[in-house]
Structure formats: structure tokens, C-alpha cells
Amino acid sequence: MRYLVLSDMHANCDAFEAVLETVDLDGFDVTLVLGDLVGYGACPNRVVDRVRELPGEVHAIRGNHDKVVAGIESGENFNPAAAEAARWTASELSEENRAFVRDLDRGPVRVDEVVSICHGSPLDEDEYVFSDFDAFQIFSRHEAPLTFFGHTHIPSLFSQRPEGGIDVALLRGRTGSVEIEEDSRYLVNPGSIGQPRDRDPRAAYMVYDSDERMVHWYRVEYAVEKAQERIREAGLPDVLAERLEVGV
């Protein structure tokens, strides 16, 4: 089985469409969407439309921005730029797309025997997983052998060997592949499509091939200046445009 793993598009249609044009969607059995479809970027409807059009078996969950935009949470913990973008997005989304975002499943979702997905952590959808201790706590309480997560926007992998040791690989701006060993467990982040934060502005996505037992990280160049122009034209905070070209 081949899984396409997409996360944190953040209403950046230029980045998301570049990824979709690069991959052959028919070549995947399952598509996993790890949340934060919207928020920050200036084309929320186009991004949600594209998610709704994904072919085949799709599992999509909500992110923290999706919840605030849909009115499920207030966003009082958001920084001013994120809060302003969420308000703008809520007014911009079509009724249908707002309902789609509101009705996204809450993670974690168990996809099959092996794979589960979440936005932040399987223990708390809003939690950030950065450290080996974060990973250790999850491995102690969450059973799935292979969990894909988003939220940090940093391509990363944590694994636990059968004897309990934790290994960490933070890929930051690199592409690469890791073998998924049968008796270890994994927490894997594909990185962000719409707002990378590993100092590489290219859109990030991932493929998991369960037959060859490999995860692969990829990056795609896209028209960053076009996404910036849309953000400025929408009157969103300029920092949201600026950060895209440096990938922070």
C-alpha cells in the first residue's frame, strides 16, 4: 500500500497545488491529511476544495487553526497575526467549506492495523511534539506502530526500539528516507505544505510505502511570491507573507 501524507496546508493554494501537481494521485491507495487546512494563508476555499476533491480513500483530521476558524474554539491562545488570519478566514470560507472544516474528525484516528494519524500528539491534538521526552510519553500510552503527526511544521521522526530506547531524526530542510522496522514504533512528521518552519521554504510532504517499509520525505518548489502577493492583497498581517520566503 502507498500512503500520501499531507499536513498543514494553511490556506496556501500555491504550495498545495504544486504538491498535488508533482504527485500522481492515482498512484496512492490512501491519502492522509493531518490538519490545519486553513489559517495564515489567503486561499482557504481553494485549499479546502482541493482536499474535498482528493480521490480514493482519504482520512482527514482537524488542526488547531481549523477548530478556531470553524468556531469550535475561541483562539484566545493565538498570537495576534494567527488570530487575525483566523477571523479573516472564517469570514472568507464558503458555508460548505466551513461545514467541512467544522466536521473534520478529531485525532487521533486509527487508519488501519499499523497506521494512526493526529494533528499535534495522539494524547492531545493541540500538543507540540519536539523532544524525545514528548515522544517517550506518547510511546508509553499510545499503541499504534506508526503514527503520523503535524503541527510543528518540522519534518521529523521519533522511533522506539523494542528494548525501549528512543531515536530522533529531525530532517530540517533535507529530504530523505527511513526504513520502518517491524518491531519498532514510530512517530513521523511530514513537515508543512503551506508554511514550512525548518528554514526551507519549499512545500513538504511524505510518502509511506508499506510494502517496501519505507517513509520518504519530499520537498517541492512553488511560487512563494504568488502566495505572498495573495496574503498582502487580502490585507493579512505582512509577517505571514514574509515568513514564507525564509521558511520559519
Task: Give the interface with Zn ion as residue ranges (CB under 5 A).
Answer: 8, 36
DSSP-assigned letter for residue 242: H
Within the chain, residue ranges assigned H as helices are: 13-22, 44-52, 64-69, 80-92, 95-102, 132-141, 224-233, 238-246
Cβ distance 138 to 123 under 8 Å? yes
Nearer to Zn ion, 8 or 127 (CB): 8
β-pair partners for 31: 4, 58
| Nearest to Zn ion of 186, 191 (CB atom) | 191
Using the minimum distance from each CB to Zn ion, give the nearer residue, 82 or 171.
82
Q: How far apart are CA 207 and CA 4, in angstroms?
A: 5
Q: Is 205 exposed, middle or buried (0-12, 13-18, 19+ CB in 10 A)?
A: buried
User: What is the closest distance, in whole angstroms, from the C-beta atom of residue 47 to Zn ion in the complex?
Assistant: 12
CB of 193 to Zn ion, least distance (A): 10
* Whole-number Å distance between alpha carbons of 248 and 8: 14
Minimum gap (Å) between residue 186 Cβ and Zn ion: 21
Q: Give the residue nearest to Zn ion (CB).
A: 36
Distance of closest approach, residue 28 Cβ to Zn ion, in angstroms: 22
Phi, psi of 188 (to 5 degrees): -130, 130
- In whole angstroms, the minimum distance from the beta carbon of 240 to Zn ion comes to 12
